[in-house]
Amino acid sequence: MSLDREAPIGVFDSGVGGLTVAREIMRNLPQERIVYFGDTARVPYGSKSKETILRYSRQIIRFLRTQDVKAIVVACNTASALALEVVEQEFDIPIIGVIKPGAKVAVETTKNNRIGVIGTRATISSGLYPSLIAQRNPDISVFGCACPLFVPLVEEGWTKDPLTEEVARRYLKELQEKDVDTLILGCTHYPLLRSMIGRIMGSNVTLVNPAYETALALGRMLDAKGLRNTKDTCEEFPYRFYVSDAADRFKEFANSILPYDVEMTQQIRIEEY
């Protein structure tokens, strides 16, 4: 299959969270166009089974292919943990997830060989972060902690609220006691709590943001495959947004975090793909 360098990148997530990944792509690869899909009708993925997430991911990839994307970013940590390995084999298009880039940088960052990972229940119980870290360095100890309340709190806009801080202190206590010096923000929403989490963990703990690392890894992948867009885009709408439900709410959230004014979000029937 021949792929066009100027074709967009497909980015998908269970909902709005993956916009943190889209945001890093916009900042770090400004010449790339994006088609984003947020599965707002079926969010959250973090409490669902592997079979379900695989089925959803296949449908979304089929939809993104109809948009002639040149590569796909699985922006959702949960889908990267549970579906990426299978869909990579099934589809004839470059696909990258958020877990490998985050795990790689955490290994390069830790000095005391103690890494913490926070994410959804599904991501933490998949054990993928620890196993990728062990492949790179088996001497590193990895401590996982699911923080399921962070997603609704962020979506409520309570990123600076004392209640969220209280919840964060409770979740993170265990990791503080484990003396980790590196913490992976292993869920799309957590970079939006970065300053709070950083303050609680203290300045001796380095936070790894998989959204940022994925944008850089995507750039390397596009270079390796000769797919990086080198022309400045003069298109009026270089970024397009699709959802499976509640398009207006999505647009509002997107406009609160993106360095780009989202004017239109289109709802599609994802079950038909």
The span from the CA of 142 to the CA of 159, in Å, is: 26
| Minimal CB distance residue for ligand DGL | 46
**Cβ nearer to ligand DGL, comparing 14 with 229:** 14
CB of 130 to ligand DGL, least distance (A): 16
Out of 145, 147, 187, 234, pick the active-site residue.
187
CB of 42 to ligand DGL, least distance (A): 9
CB of 74 to ligand DGL, least distance (A): 10
The span from the CA of 124 to the CA of 81, in Å, is: 9
> Is residue 19 a contact partner of residue 258, using CB atoms and an 8 Å limit?
yes
> Is residue 210 a contact partner of residue 101, using CB atoms and an 8 Å limit?
yes
234 is catalytic: no
147 is catalytic: no
**Cβ nearer to ligand DGL, comparing 129 with 229:** 129
> Is residue 14 a contact partner of residue 219, using CB atoms and an 8 Å limit?
no
**Cβ nearer to ligand DGL, comparing 56 with 63:** 56
Cβ neighbours for 68, distance < 8 A, ≥ 6 positions apart: 4, 7, 8
Residue numbers at the binding site for ligand DGL (CB under 6 A):
13-14, 17, 43-46, 76-78, 119-120, 123, 151, 187-189
**Cβ nearer to ligand DGL, comparing 8 with 119:** 119
Dihedral over alpha carbons 85, 86, 89, 94 (to 10 degrees) = -60
Catalytic residues: 76, 187
